[in-house]
Amino acid sequence: MSEIKIAKTLDAKNLSCPLPILKTKKAIAEIEIGEFIEVLSTDPGSVADFKAWTNSTGHELADQSAENGIFRYIIKRTK
């Protein structure tokens, strides 16, 4: 993981569905193709949602973790 450089962090904590996804869609357009965005969410439903969103859009869910109720997603912009 150490070689992944985060180009941008999106704080989507405390937001309800579907805002974390909608804001991620917007934010990923602000980084370059090949760069990584970090998204933080407190929505337990976001685990399934980010999997579905990356599957559907083709962006790469490079890493995910959960700690103290905060879900962290590292997504690579692929297009």
Partner 1 sequence: MSEKKKKLAIIASKADIPGAYPPLILASTAAAMDYEVGIFFTFFGLNMLKKNKLNKLKITPAGETAMPMPIPQIVGMLPGMTDVATAMMRSWMKGANVAKLQELMDVCVEAGVKLIACQMTMDVMKIKRKHLIDECEVGGAAAMLEFASDADITLYI
Binding residues for partner 1 (CB under 8 A): 14-19, 21-22, 24-25, 52-53, 56-58, 79
Task: Examine the residue annotation and report whether 17 is marked as an active-site residue of this protein.
Answer: yes
Nearest by Cα to 1 from 63, 50, 59: 63
The CB-of-65 to partner 1 minimum distance in angstroms stands at: 22
CA distance 67 to 56: 26
Q: Which of 6, 11, 16, 17 is catalytic?
A: 17
The letter for the amino acid at 3 is: E
The CB-of-19 to partner 1 minimum distance in angstroms stands at: 5
